Chain A
Amino acid sequence: MKKLLLSGLLMSSLALTVVYAAEEPNADAYREMTYGDRDANPALLVVDRGEELFKAKRGSKNVSMEECDFGLGKGVVKGVYAELPRYFQDTDRVQDLESRMLTCMTTVQGFDEAELKKKTYANEKANEDNTDLEAIAVYIAAQSDGMKINPPIAHPKEQEMIKVGEALFYHRTGPLDFSCASCHGADKQRIRLQNLGNFSKAGADAQKAIGGWPTYRVSHAAVRTMQHRIWDCEGQMRLPDTEYGSPLTVALIAYLTSQAKDGTYVLPGMSR
């Protein structure tokens, strides 16, 4: 049922692509569309599913994710995404939303980490529904809709993570010699017709990008999270699959989020 509805919506969005592509071949049109009629974002169905999963008693310990602390205290979801990544004392690590979800699901709910990581993303080529991880992430993130992007930077480990993320952003490797900065290091760059944000400086580009993720990607007919975006861009660099929630991914996300500080989350987003 759901998938049928989604693909109906997808088709109308694709029809829109054609119209928009003729004038302005970029992702902005989708965003404007989202701001205009946000109730039409198919991600909202995934948010609902994520809420059910979040509140259900699950895992070998049969407890819900309401038993977990995402940074603002046990059970709080409102506004937590706006203040991530952050340092958590219990793990002694800086964590983004998704690595924190893993902590919650393994230590509090009793899921097996390797099992959880077996299937992190829906395969758009097989027209799959979003995974549970994607649904839970977009549910939690959507509870920061309209809030300021405000990752904490007081803790030395938070500062360190941003620094490491910045160094990783410029780290060139792989058969194409790319770093993130190859594509996201200057203003108004494009790969083919796709606009690339300049994330080497703080401000508008980073704010717009970070502020719209997780996003409903029309071309995938699925919700995508920041972990997926990093995996996707690492693939464009022809590097191996990133390890879900690893410090490498968290460092990059911490850097990007710090560049986006004071922007506004408009969630769930919608994009090409």
Chain B
Amino acid sequence: MKKPILASVALSILAGVTWAAGDDKAIQALVDQYISTGYQQGDKQHLERLKQDETLKICSETRNKPSDEQAKAIVEREKASIKYPEKMLGSWEKGKEVFNTGFGMRVGVIMPDKADKPRGGNCYACHAADPKEVAAGNIGSSLTGYGKARGNNETNIKYTYEKIYNSQAHVACSNMPRFGANGVLNPEQIADLVAFLIDPASPVNK
């Protein structure tokens, strides 16, 4: 009876010693090393995608809980990345399409997307919107009735454009991709999405 207990105590002491020795820096060094050897090589692999910017570095290190100071710096930096088109409110019909279409952008040699595959925001992966679409995910909040609730006004149009262009311009370390800043969607597509969410004629607001 006694032996197994002793053994497990010994084990946890051993574990404790290792944790103390293996500090965060050593783990981070291994993370970097494993990322550099963890993917197939070659220009079809777009290895540049593995490079983190300053914002994602902080979000990773803090597990999406940046300090107030870090959050402030992120919001400022990300806001500066936003490019505004002449019209931030586009066509809701086109926006409906972009909202529904998958991201595209798969790379590699095993099952890549064709380079000319239409890119969408795949927003239904995370958000409900048009109440007729039942296959909606829940990582983001429901956007059903968004325009009706928030209003069809300049402030909300600008906020919504910015949110989609760069979600972290408003919430540091948001789980939502920075669609415009990362070049997934262009400003025109984002303006169409804004219309899909805000235009009173859009099914989102019916």
Contacts and interface: CB of A to CB of B under 8 A. Distances in A.
B140 to A, nearest CB: 10
A168 interface: yes
Interface stretch (B25-33, B89-97, B144-152): B25-33
B56 A192 contact: no
B165 to A, nearest CB: 13
B138 A189 contact: yes
Interface residues of B, number: 52
B56 A190 contact: no
A159 B52 contact: no
Contacts of A249: 38
Interface residues of A, number: 47
Contacts of A177: 56, 59, 177-178, 182
Interface string A194-217: 100000000000000000000000
Secondary structure at chain B's binding surface: helix, strand, loop or mixed? loop
B27 A164 contact: yes
Contacts of A174: 49-50
A176 B14 contact: no
Contacts of B108: 235, 240-241
Given A168-B34, A240-B49, A246-B37, A175 B138 contact: no
B106 A235 contact: yes
Contact of A173 (B49, B105, B125): B49
Nearest to B113: A238
Interface stretch (A7-15, A32-40, A178-186): A178-186
B63 interface: yes
Contacts of B11: 154
Interface in A197-252: 231, 235, 238-243, 246-249, 251
B22 A238 contact: no
B60 A121 contact: no
A156 interface: yes
A231 B60 contact: no
B60 A240 contact: no
B136 A192 contact: yes
A121 B184 contact: no
A168 B59 contact: no
A55 interface: no
Contacts of A251: 30, 34
A1 interface: no
Interface in A133-185: 153-154, 156, 159-160, 163-164, 167-168, 170-179, 181-183
B33 to A, nearest CB: 8
B189 to A, nearest CB: 15
B145 to A, nearest CB: 20
Contact of A176 (B30, B103, B138): B103
Interface string A24-58: 01000000000000000000000000000000000
A116 interface: no
B175 interface: yes
A191 B126 contact: yes
A188 B126 CA distance: 13
Contacts of B59: 172, 177
B115 interface: no
A217 to B, nearest CB: 14
Contacts of B161: none
Contact of A170 (B63, B126, B136): B63
Interface of B: 11, 14-15, 18-19, 22, 27-28, 30-31, 33-35, 37-40, 45-47, 49-52, 56, 59-60, 63-64, 103, 105-111, 124-126, 134-139, 175, 177-178, 182-184
Which 6 residue pairs across A and B have the least CB separation, nearest first? A248-B38, A240-B45, A241-B108, A240-B39, A248-B34, A176-B177
